[in-house]
Amino acid sequence: MYKAIEMAKRLRYMPISRQQKEKIVLCNILPAALYGVEASTINQQALKSLRTAIANAIVPSSAKRNIALVFTTTSGIKDLDTLTHSLYLRTAAIGRRIAKQEGKNDIK
């Protein structure tokens, strides 16, 4: 996860548009940071650091900025927030597990 935090910090200074930064976060940083989150716990301090680094990369920082509002106002990408993305990954893993078990119970 710390490597992903460093990637997000470097992304902050790249001269590209906000939409391109959001795509990079969604396609590169979040999968690298949340790999294996379905089966293990998350270090909360590292997760907070990652959320802050992603918010700083997407929008300029301010003394009165609300990180939750940053993730709410992203352009159409609903799972850019690390909390939402990890919940999605865990829910998808449960769904795959249930579907796998249902197939095994049918054969007798």
User: What ranges in 18-81 are assigned the alpha helix state H?
Assistant: 18-24, 30-33, 44-58, 67-72
pLDDT at 77: 62
Asked if residues 52 and 77 have their Cβ atoms less than 8 Å apart, the reply is: no
Domain tally, the chain: 1
Q: Whole-angstrom Cα distance, residue 61 to residue 97? A: 41
pLDDT at 70: 81
pLDDT at 81: 84
Choice between 79 and 6, residue whose per-residue pLDDT is larger? 6
Alpha carbon distance, N-terminus to C-terminus of the chain: 44
For the cut 70, the answer to whether the pLDDT of residue 108 exceeds it is no
**Which residues have CB under 8 Å from 91's CB, separation 6+?**
none
pLDDT at 78: 64
pLDDT digits (tens, 9 = 90+) for 26-63: 899 999 999 988 888 889 999 999 999 998 998 887 77
pLDDT digits (tens, 9 = 90+) for 77-105: 667 888 888 998 999 999 998 888 876 66
What range does the domain containing 58 cover? 2-106
Q: Whole-angstrom Cα distance, residue 104 to residue 108? A: 9
The number of angstroms, rounded, from the C-alpha of 54 to the middle of its chain's C-alpha atoms is 9
For the cut 60, the answer to whether the pLDDT of residue 107 exceeds it is no
DSSP conformational letter for 96? H
